[in-house]
Amino acid sequence: MSEATPPVEPKKASNKTAIIIALLSIIVIIQSIKIYLDYQDKAEVNQQLATTEEDLASTMQRLNDIQIELNQKITEIEKLGGDITELEKAKAEVDAELKRTRSRTSRNIKELKDRVEGYEQLLRLKDEELEKLKSLNKELYSENRNLKSTQNVLSDSINRLSKNKDELATKVAIASQLKAENIAVVSLTGRGKERTSPFRSKQLETLKVEFNIAENKVAPIEGKKIMIRVTDENGQVIFDVAKGSGTFMLDGKEEFYTVAQEILFDNTRQKLSFLYEKGSEYASGNYTVDIFTDGYRMGQVEFKVK
C-alpha cells in the first residue's frame, strides 16, 4: 500500500503573512496621511503667526517713525513759538505704546494701526501749521532786514498767526467730535416688551434710547459723559433730579439733561443704552431726543406720543 500524502501547511502560513503585510501597509498609509495633515496644520498656523508678526513689526516701525517725527515737530514748532501741547500729548502716548510688550492679538494690532493713522493725521495738520510758522518767520526776517517792518505790521502778523492757530485748533476740535449713529427710541413695558414710535401714553412706562458712537480716528480714547435730553413740543425738558437728571453747559448757558452715563470712549463703535422712567404719563405730542457730550450735540431723533 502507498503512504498517505500529508496536508499542505505552507499555503496557510503564506496567507497569514499576506494579511499581516496588508494591515501594516494600511497602518503606514494612515500614519503618512496623519503626518501630512499635521504638517499642513502646522504650516498654516506658522503662516498666520508670521503674517501677524509681520503686520505688528510694520505697525511698530510706523510708530517708531512717528516718534522721531513728533520729536522733530516739537523742536521746530517750539523754536518758532507755536503750541506743542497736542504734540507732547501724542508723544507721551506713542512712548507708552512702544514700551508695551510686543505680544499682541490681531484685534490689538488693528486698534494700534487705527491709532497710528490718527497720529499721522495729527502730524499732517501740524505740517500745515509749521509751514505757516516758517513762512511768517521768514517774512518777518525779510522785513526786518529791509527796515520795512513797523510795529503795526508786526502786530498784524502776530494776530494772523494767532488766528491761524485758532483756526487749526477749531478744525482739530471739530474733526474729533463724536457722532451718534443708528439712534433708536422704543418704549419698554414692565414685561420687557418693546414698541416703536408712535407710542400710546399708557404703554410708555420706560423710555429706551440706544445708539452707536461712530468711529473717529482723530478723537482720543478718553472718558466721556454722554447726556440724553428729552424735550416736548413746547421745548420743556423732561427731567427728574431724583432719577439721575442734572444740568450741563451748552453754548454758555446752563441746560437740563434727562439722563446721563459716564463711559470710556474706545473708538470701537460701542453701543450705548439709556433707560428713563418718567413716573407719570407723557402728554400727547411730538418729542425730541438730543444726545450731547462736551458741550456739543452728537445726534438727534424724534418720537411721537398719541
pLDDT digits (tens, 9 = 90+) for 17-67: 878 888 877 887 887 777 766 666 565 555 555 456 777 777 778 888 888
* 167 and 194 share one domain: no
| Domain shared by 160 and 226, yes or no | no
Nearest one of 200, 73, 53 to 127, comparing CA atoms? 73
Q: What is the residue range of 274's domain?
A: 180-305
Instruction: Examine the domain organization and report whether 74 and 165 are in the same domain.
Output: yes
Looking at the fold, whether 188 and 246 belong to one and the same domain comes out as yes
| Domain of residue 278, CATH code | 2.60.40.1930
Domain boundary among 175, 202, 228: 175
**Segment 260-297, tens digit of pLDDT:** 999 999 999 999 999 999 888 899 999 999 999 999 99
Give the orientation angle of helix 106-145 with respect to helix 10-79, to 10 degrees. 20
Mean pLDDT of 247-261: 95
Q: Nearest Cα to 227, choosing from 200, 202, 204, 245? A: 245
Residues 126 and 155 in one domain: yes
Last residue of a domain, one of 175, 203, 226: 175
- Judgement on whether residues 294 and 184 belong to the same structural domain of the protein: yes
- How many structural domains are present in the chain? 2
Percent of the chain with pLDDT over 90: 35
Q: pTM of the predicted model, to two decimals?
A: 0.47
Q: Per-residue pLDDT tens for 164-213?
A: 666 655 666 777 899 999 999 999 877 778 899 999 888 888 999 999 99
20 located within any domain = no
Same domain, 166 and 193: no
Domain-located, residue 104: yes
**Cα distance between residue 287 and residue 155, in whole Å:** 51
Q: Using the 3D structure, point to which of 156, 175, 194 is the last residue of a domain.
A: 175
Does residue 33 lie in a domain region? no
Give the pLDDT score at 113: 75
Residues 81 and 143 grouped into a single domain: yes
Q: Please report whether residue 46 resides in a domain.
A: no
In a domain, 44, yes or no: no
- Give the per-residue pLDDT at 84: 85
Position 32 in a domain: no
Q: Find the DSSP H helices in the chain.
A: 10-79, 85-99, 106-145, 151-175
Please indicate, yes or no, if residue 11 is contained in any of the structural domains: no
Distance CA 29, CA 66 (A): 55
Q: Is residue 1's pLDDT more than 50? A: no
Peptide bond into 220 cis (omega under 30): no
- Angle subtended by helix axes 106-145 and 151-175, to nearest 10: 170
Same domain? 81 vs 188: no
Same domain as 223, residue 141: no
Cell numbers standing for residue 280:
407719570
- The DSSP letter of residue 6 is P
213 belongs to a structural domain: yes
Are 63 and 131 in a shared domain? yes
Q: Does 171 lie in the same domain as 186? A: no
